[in-house]
Amino acid sequence: MPFIIAIDGPAASGKGTIARALSQHFGFHHLDTGLLYRATGAKGGDPVAAARGLTPADLARPDLRSAEAGQAASRIAAIPEVRAALVAFQHRFAAQDPGAVLDGRDIGTVICPDAEVKLYVVASDEVRAARRAAELGADPAQMLVELRERDQRDSQRATAPLRPADDAVVLDTSDLSIADAISRAITAVDLARQGR
């Protein structure tokens, strides 16, 4: 039976970096589920049709990390039909042996509520804005405004709002180095694997 690690949290909290590191460390498959929504939004046209027709090649587009793609993803993620079209993709991915790491905003609460490990990665708004600004070469003040808008939209949507699962381990990366954050995540997974 595959071992599933669910990692959730707001944008630029470090969840993607941690997810990739856990995937490499444990030899598990990795899916940045935000790319599903970014790719759907970037395709344009009817978002429901775009979600239903999504292919793995769509996830390789070079423009998916842009701020525009992120905002489009957040807007279409609130459409229940889009979410439904992408859930099956995520379920199939999570079922791969020997295990899978999925990161997003509703993995531990909606997509994989039975995941063996659930991490909820957070950081202060200012730290997240500085990280995203450095990544995109953008203005930190503008990024702070955009991140807060997105957080509000993601946490207040009716379908699968952004929130930690009741049994999630909360990992605040505000004052942690990347190495320390990854080390704490590995420890959480090791503990769960020992108890399996």
- pLDDT tens sequence across 66-115: 878 888 888 898 898 998 899 988 998 999 999 999 999 899 999 999 99
Residue 196 included in any domain: no
34-43 and 80-94 helices, crossing angle to 10°: 130
Which residue positions form the known binding site for ATP?
Answer: 9-17
Q: Is residue 113 part of a domain?
A: yes
Q: Does the residue 191 lie in any domain?
A: no
Q: Which two tokens stand for residue 2?
A: 């595959």
User: Which residues define the annotated binding site?
Assistant: 9-17
Answer whether residue 185 shows pLDDT above 80. Answer: yes
Count CA within 13 A, CB hemisphere, residue 83: 17
Question: What CATH number should be reported for the domain holding residue 72?
Answer: 3.40.50.300
Q: Which domain holds residue 29?
A: 3-186
Q: What is the mean pLDDT of residues 143-151?
A: 92
Indicate the pLDDT class of residue 165, thresholds 50, 70 and 90: very high
**Domain assignment of residue 194, yes or no:** no
Q: At what angle do helices 140-156 and 67-76 cross, to 10 degrees?
A: 10
The total number of structural domains in the chain stands at 1
Identify whether 117 is part of a domain: yes
pLDDT value of residue 75? 85
Q: What is the pTM (predicted TM-score) of this model?
A: 0.87
Examine residue 49 and state whether it is found in any structural domain, yes or no: yes
Within-domain flag for 193: no
Q: Following CA atoms 90, 67, 64, 169 in sequence, which dihedral angle do they give, to the nearest 10 degrees?
A: -30
Is residue 157 assigned to a domain?
yes
Inter-CA distances, 134 with 18, 78, 127, 140, 173, Å: 18, 28, 11, 8, 16
